[in-house]
Amino acid sequence: MSKRTTFIGHRDFLPRDIEQRLKKAIKKEIDSGCRFFTMGAHGKFDSEAFYVCKSFRKDYKDIEIEVAITSFNQIKPDVEEDEFGKFVYEKFEGAKTTMYDIEEVHFKKKITESNKQMIDGCDTLICFVRPKQYRSGAKTAMNYAKRKGLRIINLYKPEDDPFYGMTEEEKQNYFKKN
């Protein structure tokens, strides 16, 4: 069986150099024999992962890309891109789309369940997850992957935290001003 890698990450925040981090991590996976990559369709990290995987197809024609959708609305040609970089139909070009059996799942749990099913079908998780984040679907997915024994590559660095290097007093002053 071919190696499979999936991507999970926060939908709303990415560092400026995330493309370079993804390229390096994906290249290592390709070099180790992975040719199948799957990601969701709900945020900036998913979008970045998709485009980086797609860019590797120039040199590696056998790469397969799968995008897991949670709603058929995501593939309607007239859907506009939202504030989180949600894909529109044209952005799926060159990828297989799939929708897991989540029809009976409450709409607020569809992404979480889809993430679990993506993780269940892979060997490696490349993610961008802030480990200290209180509540996060991406963190929940990463912890699920840990329990499953997957190899996890977290592209998050402590300096990605918006308050990195601030003292507790500086943080409090920041929140008082905003």
pTM of the full predicted structure? Answer: 0.80
List domains and CATH numbers for the chain: 3-177 (3.40.50.450)
Q: How far is CA 137 from CA 8, 72, 99, 109, 111, in A?
A: 9, 21, 18, 9, 8
Q: What is the pLDDT along the chain (178 residues), one digit of tens a residue?
A: 579 999 999 877 788 899 999 999 999 999 999 999 999 887 889 989 999 999 999 999 999 999 887 765 555 554 455 444 444 444 567 777 776 666 676 667 777 878 898 999 899 999 999 887 777 888 999 999 999 999 999 999 988 887 788 888 888 888 887 6
Question: What is the spatial distance between Cα 18 and Cα 150, in angstroms, rounded to a whole number?
Answer: 22
Q: In what order do the strands lie in the sheet with 64-68?
A: 96-98, 64-68, 34-39, 3-9, 124-128, 151-154
